[in-house]
Structure 1
Amino acid sequence: MNGIPTSTNDSRSAPPPQAGRVEFGHAAGNAMSMKWSALHDAAALVCTLAGLQPEMRKPDVRNFPAIMRDTGGWRYDLAKQGVDDLASIMEPGLAALLAVSARGQSPRPAAAALWQEFVASRAALLALVPPLGIKRRA
């Protein structure tokens, strides 16, 4: 009639695979990536409250969620759990620092302690990155 195929078997009428859809694995990886980025934004504020200069994000830190997603397996599972655990430390810690600061008291000593905890936890997470030669799940 109008030249538009009406058959459901016509491959032209079906959207290409994954068009407009995100696979669950990628969505989970994106969630970890967003949380990782938010943690670093919070850590930059903690740095400032501690009287320190916020650090530049190096590529290995910036790319950590993607590397873990590509690696998969137990390393990815531990990375997700570790990022969640780190968020559980940073959220109330940052709230306490802001409350102290709002009262006009110096948050520097507590902020420095939280910063050191963040750095140590992040280093443990970055140790999950597989050494060269271990195949990723690409």
Structure 2
Amino acid sequence: MNALRHEFDLAEATMLPPLGQEPTRAPGPLVEDLGARWEALHDAAEAVAQLAQLGHEAAGGAIASLPERAAHAESWRREAVVNGIDDLALVMQTGLRALIAAADQGRDTTAAALTLWREFHVARQAICAFVEPELHTA
């Protein structure tokens, strides 16, 4: 009989809490970190809006309070929000770089910027839905 043999290196392993228990985390630093990421994302969106020749969007209410609400959400929802913000930040960074390069060459970036702006809004709504899905369905 051939037995499979594997050597596992658990030096970098993360221990998970028992089922039904979540690790306790101080929400303060998490809120600050999420808040900084969320704000940077909206700064990029503001730059895209300028290239799309749109007015300033005043984000308030549920959008502004997302970091606080996400910090107190279930751990899987919190992780989904963090991953969503990071993914959207990468998309915005890449898109904004392309738009700036095109604008530097004298090209009209309005249509492309408007498309990125719309994608930002759809993705932002999806991120918000991770925290409170019942508010973002319909």
Q: TM-score range by the shorter chain?
A: 0.7 to 0.9
Structure 2 partner of 1:121: 123
Structure 1 partner of 2:101: 99
* CA drift at 1:28: 3.5
Structure 2 partner of 1:49: 51
* CA drift at 1:129: 2.4
Over 3 Å counting, the alpha-carbon distance change for 1:72 and 1:26 in structure 2 is: farther
Q: Between Structure 1 and Structure 2, whose CA radius of gyration is higher? A: 1
* CA drift at 1:27: 2.7
Letter of the 2:68 counterpart: A
Give structure 1 stretches of 5+ with no counterpart.
1-22, 133-138
TM-score, normalised to structure 2's length?
0.73
Letter of the 1:29 counterpart: V
Q: CA RMSD in A?
A: 1.8
Give structure 2 stretches of 5+ with no counterpart.
1-24
Structure 2 partner of 1:58: 60
* CA drift at 1:25: 5.1
Structure 2 partner of 1:73: 75
Task: Note the alpha carbon deviations across 1:63-95, whole angstroms, 9 max, x for none.
Answer: 101100011321101000000000110001111
Q: What CA distance in whole angstroms lies between the structure 2 residues aligned with 1:37 and 1:91?
A: 14
Conservation of the 8 A alpha-carbon contact between 2:78 and 2:131: no
Over 3 Å counting, the alpha-carbon distance change for 1:24 and 1:98 in structure 2 is: farther
2:53 alignment partner, SS class: coil
TM-score, normalised to structure 1's length?
0.73
1:90 alignment partner, SS class: helix
Q: What CA distance in whole angstroms lies between the structure 2 residues aligned with 1:130 and 1:114?
A: 25
Within the alignment, does 1:30 sit opposite 2:32 as a pair? yes
Query: In the alignment, which of 81, 88, 91 is matched to residue 90 of structure 2?
Result: 88
Letter of the 2:125 counterpart: A
Q: What CA distance in whole angstroms lies between the structure 2 residues aligned with 1:117 and 1:69?
A: 25
Q: What CA distance in whole angstroms lies between the structure 2 residues aligned with 1:66 and 1:89?
A: 24
